[in-house]
Structures are given as structure tokens and as C-alpha cells.
Amino acid sequence: MAKEEQDKILDEVTQSDYKYGFVTDIENDDIGKGLSEDVIRMISAKKNEPEFMLEFRLKAYRHWLTMKMPEWAYLKIPPIDYQDIIFYSAPKQKAKLESMDDVDPEIRATFDKLGIPLDEQKLLANVAVDVVMDSSSVKTTFKQALAEKGVIFCSFSDAVQEHPDLIQEYMGTVVPVQDNFFAALNSAVFSDGSFVYIPKGVRCPMELSTYFRINAENTGQFERTLIVCEDDSYVSYLEGCTAPMRDENQLHAAIVEIIVKDNAEVKYSTVQNWYPGNKEGKGGIYNFVTKRGICQGVNSKLMWAQVETGSAVTWKYPSTILKGDGSSSEFYSVAVTNNHQQADTGSKMIHIGNNTKSTIISKGISAGKSSNSYRGLVKVTKNCEGARNFSQCDSLLLGDKCGAHTFPYLEIGNKSAKVEHEATTSKIGEDQIFYCNQRGISTEDAIGLIVNGYAKEVINKMPMEFAVEAQKLLAISLEGSVG
């Protein structure tokens, strides 16, 4: 394809619009900008939290003050002024919600636009949803049906009120408050999120889903997800995110902690579509996320599947600690960057238990002037016998102004470990596009076909409805792209 033609098509990419960029006009209850011990006390008080929560927050905050923002990632981020952020903002609503009719119609309209089935009438989808807008959970569906099985699925705030013992037992056990800069910040100021508890021997009858939305201006979103799976249980959990288009950058720093006990299995799927900023790189979400699970029990399993197309900056390394003997973990990821987006993302697998297995399949797609890095760690501890890992990191480049990088780290402490790493970088070939053209397929459709083919291995790991959404998202994110 001729150079000018390529450039033209590349330019067209940047004109594809972010369709979730609307703002919902609702009244917010916020606490003003800035961060201090007083602010943290205020958040805790607003949420009517027990004493242990406030202590947890203050401990995290005091530790955070001693920390510096990490600079090792392959990202260029301007300094963030933490005093210029509103750390708590919630849609104002009256009293407690008993039915869908009580939800603010503006909020319902928002989630209708996003295609989230808040309405319990839409039972067909068979997905229980918890929706978090800005800092607080708006509504959890199917709570009743789940309760019959003993499954707890509710907002984090509700869990703090209704199941404080469980929260106290598990919160911060996988990601300690001092873990890293953003984890400490989240632990200090997090306002809501989701809590999932699957009792022993229960197979959760439906997929659980949380939908995160940043709406208010100047607001940071700091949510926390805690999933506990008792022995012999199973759950599939989905997470989706969007935000309005705004010229200033907004901060999102989340924590996900997952505890998987004997023979239990968790599937955690994410479709991340935070606003990526405009085509000149203005605005967009800074996404700093600490996601970690522990396969605590024997033969436990944890699978991560994610499609990431959003955010101006993504800093995220879903990790698994393989503690139980025979436990296993898989990580499947597609990360798309376009325009001026930057991503430094990957996975960590820490092998402690004997005969533990891990798989990492990472597919990066870079277009525009974006930068897309894979960073991953496979660690086998000294006393871990028979560990196995397979990692595959592929990068696909569209155009010649983007970059892809791979930073694999291997720390192998035991000779019995078998660790494999494969990496490839490819461009969509002109000859592939011409071949499609010759069969009557336009260049744009050809790229859609090829990109989806490239990402198929990962998308196939996602639950059906999510996979369809992910495919559409890939096509939209790269609309008009390349040659």
C-alpha cells in the first residue's frame, strides 16, 4: 500500500469516536478536593464504617506519605497533583433502594445507554450486576436469588456493614496496604467496589458482573474488589468500565484481591474501556490497578482474561500467587493502544507450591502513535518442585509510528522448574490485506478480520456475551486502521 494511502487511513483511525463519552447530569455528594487524614476520616464517617476500617485506611495513608510514585514503567506521565482530586463523590439519592423504581431515572438512563441490564426484568441475561458510579455502588441485582445459594454478592460498603467479620479477615491479605504506591492510596481512600463470597461446595449459578463508571468531574475512582472462594466452589466474574470524555486526566486506582481455596476455581474477565483521551492525547483516564489473586488451596485455579482498549495510561499486572500444591493459573490478555495511549501491562506468576502451573498469553496491538509494553514476571521459589510456566507475548503493529516492547523477567530458584517464553512481533502485511482485497473485502474489514483472528485465542476464553462485546470493541478501537 502506498505511503500516503497508509497515512490517510491511519488518520481516519483517529476519527473514530468514543461512544461512551457522555456525562450524566445528576447531583453529586462530594467532599471537595484534596487529601489529608481529615478527608479520610470524613470518607469513613460518611460510610458509617466500623473502627477497624478507619484504622486500615489511616495506616495505608501514613504509609503512602512515605512512598513515591513508581517510575520503572515504560510510561510518560506528567506529575499528578493529589490535592487537586476529589476523593469521594457519590450520586445523591434518597434512603435505601428497595426496588429498581427507586433508582434515579438519570442513572438508569445512563446504564441503559451503556447497555447494562440493571432491570431485573431482563432476567434473560442471567448475569447479576453490581454497578459502581463514581465512588458508590448504585444497585446490585439478583441479590435475593444469590442469597438462596449462600452466595454473597454486594457492594463493598454493604459488605462492610453486613459482613464486617469477612472483610476484616480477608481485606488486605493479598494486596497489603504497603504493597505499592497506588495500592496504598487506594487502601486509604477507596469508597466502594464489590464483594463476592462463594461458600464451600457452591457453584455460583450465574456470572457475576460489576460495572464501573466514572461520571463526576475532577474525581478519582478508587474501588476495591474482594472475591473469596471457599473449598470446591466456582465463580465467573466479569468487570467492565467506561467514563465520559473530559479534557483533564482522571485517576483510577483500583485493587482486586482474590482468594481461592482447595479445589476452587475463579474466572475473572475484564473489558476495560475507560476514555482513552482524544486523538491529540488530551484527557483520558490514568489507570493504575493492582490485581492479585492467591491460589491458596491445593489444586485451586485462577484464570484472568482481559481485553483492554481504553485509558490514556494503563499500569496493570494481574498476578497470581500459586501457593497450594497443584494449583494453576492462566492469564489471557489483549491490550490495544491507539493514538497517544500508553500501556505497560502484563502478569506475574509466583510459584510457591509444588507442581504448580501457569500460562501467560499476551497479545498487544499498537496503532497510531501509541506505546504498548508487556512486562511480566515468572518467579519460582527455592522450595517449589516441579513448577511449569509457558509464556507467549505477541505484538502486532499497525503503521510505523507506534511502538511495542516486551520486558519478561524470570527468577527461577529451583532446578526442577520448566519455564518457556516465546515472543513475536508482526505487522499486518500488505500482502495479507491485498489478498483480502482481491476477494472483495475492503481494507478496513480486512484489518478487522485479521485483528480479531490475532486476538481470538484470548477472546475465546471469555464468557460468550463478553466475547461478543470484546470483538466489537476491538473493531471500534481500530476503526479505519492501517496497512
**Which residues of this chain interact with other proteins, rule CB under 8 A?**
1-2, 5, 429, 431-432, 434-443, 445, 449-450, 452-457
User: Least distance in Å: CB of 328 to other proteins?
Assistant: 25
Residue for cell digits 485517576? Answer: 251
Shortest distance, position 28 Cβ to other proteins, whole Å:
45
Greatest pairwise CA separation for the chain in angstroms: 69
Q: What's the closest the beta carbon of residue 396 comes to other proteins, in angstroms?
A: 10
- Cβ nearer to other proteins, comparing 2 with 124: 2
**Closer Cβ to other proteins, 54 or 449, answer by number:** 449
Concatenated DSSP letters of 265-287: EEEEEEEE------TTS-SEEEE
DSSP character for 299?
A: T
* Closer CB to other proteins, 5 or 37, in the complex: 5
Nearer to other proteins, 196 or 446 (CB): 446
Half-sphere CA count of 121, side-chain side, radius 13 A: 3
Rounded Cα distance, 286 and 310, in Å: 10
The partner residues of 405 in beta bridges, in order of sequence, read 373
Long-range pairs, 438-444, Cβ under 8 A, ≥24 = 443/1, 443/9, 443/482, 443/483, 444/9, 444/479, 444/480, 444/481
36 versus 424: smaller Cβ distance to other proteins = 424
- d(C-alpha 118, C-alpha 140), whole Å: 8
Least separation, in Å, of the C-beta of 449 and other proteins? 5
In angstroms, give the least distance from the CB of 446 to other proteins. 9
DSSP string, 131-190: EEETTEEEEE-SHHHHHHTT-EEEEHHHHHHH-HHHHHHHTTSSS-TTS-HHHHHHHHH-
Nearer to other proteins, 104 or 394 (CB): 394
> Backbone dihedral region of 283: left (phi > 0), alpha (psi from -120 to 50 degrees) or beta?
left
CB of 347 to other proteins, least distance (A): 21
Nearest approach, Cβ of residue 453 and other proteins (Å): 3
Closest alpha carbon to 244 in 271, 218, 280: 218
Instruction: Name which of 385 and 430 has its Cβ closer to other proteins.
Output: 430
Dist CA 230 CA 262 (whole Å): 7
Q: Looking at beta carbons only, is 93 or 432 nearer to other proteins?
A: 432
